[in-house]
Structure 1
């Protein structure tokens, strides 16, 4: 009886500490200016330039606009010249900052020498590794992916290799100057097994593991490395879903996520996505792996993306 009593008391104490910690974390997110204070000059203090991959549209474009609003010059890198030029013009007119554009397709291999040459003379304070692609517009099982071999290569190049290469280009300068911030855009689904998004989710697990490792390696050098893991954001990748309490506009998501730059090596960027992350991780793995769940999930996403 004494053993059982000790076991139940220990389990209860663990539960109290576990959920108490989550509640404290949520309270801290409610008042980021108190718990994670950022001086008004924080972003310009780490460097004159911000580099954003996938910066011509969606979350990347929102980062470019918000960081230019905070006084930074920006380099936006993407594969579409027309979209890059529109974004650059918008930034210059709206916030009066300098903008450099680099046309590069991150699904390809031979782009980094040109990018490195463009960035070599710049005082880069912030790198946002935002570029990423889905293997298919809507979820499906791996072997049902059209042009599977090609898509595997593209996802690895764009979602995995691009982040590592951009970090390797920018980190030496940050280390030398003793300051800098790298934000690697992951996904909320990296926290769970996600059948029908298997390849994409696996690539985002890599983002989180690399970010945590780099933060451990370079924290002492004055460099912040954070993985930012949103759930729903209304972009081309999500079919421009109508924003609501869970699905945010890129502008709103970026504005709030930048408040939590000092909140640790992983952030969901918003309170609603943090709570959603708790809920998703509480779903038993066996439920996620059932055929019924996979079918219902695929149908749900298809309706949201293409109503």
Structure 2
């Protein structure tokens, strides 16, 4: 395997979740990912948990951390302060995102409004980060276009601006058909985007939750997938087997089309991601006795 492997985690909200997160990290660390990213919330406590998780990754593991950073609910000075703190702590890779507006009381996503004194969009954040330090900067790509974009061309223009501002990698939103990713890459190359484009793979642990995620980010959930998970709400063992099979088949189809890099949205659940990586032969990156 000559490509890159990376994992996304989210910071824990409780001591029990912190314990679960570190078990997941320890389970996946032997695969020697090229980096692991930690998501970021707009709230103060969530921000602090992200920073704490990154510091622990640096202090207690050999993993290379990438910190998520968004434009939401902060002015430029506040965002710059967070970025500088990451740099001072030894973090050299930022996943720069516009971010989404917080959900309302009913759990529905509200309309994004830029902070009047903040970075309005991800392209502005990327440029700001490059002024602070020579960060490696990853940005988001949407194979089925961002739901707020007018059309695919508009979406690709925005992605090109992020790359021109200094982004060095695109990590895509999740998708479930290999053709969706391949078509996106082809269109991105035609638009002059030459940096690596890494597919974001989301193993399905909860089908209803995935449908909610997909609606929020504009991803399509194929009809055939619903049939695979129908009636499995109370059968987590079978659901996990089906999920692994779906993800492996998707990655194998991507490989058939020349894709070698994979980024897994782990949802802090190691067993499923580990099983998928092993079935794809990613465990061969290290001796079998270790992995």
TM bucket by the smaller chain?
Answer: 0.3 to 0.5
Q: Report the TM-score, using the length of structure 1 for normalisation.
A: 0.36
Structure with bigger RCO (C-alpha 8 Å, 6+ apart)? 2
Per residue, is there more helix in 1 or in 2? 1
Structure index of larger Rg: 1
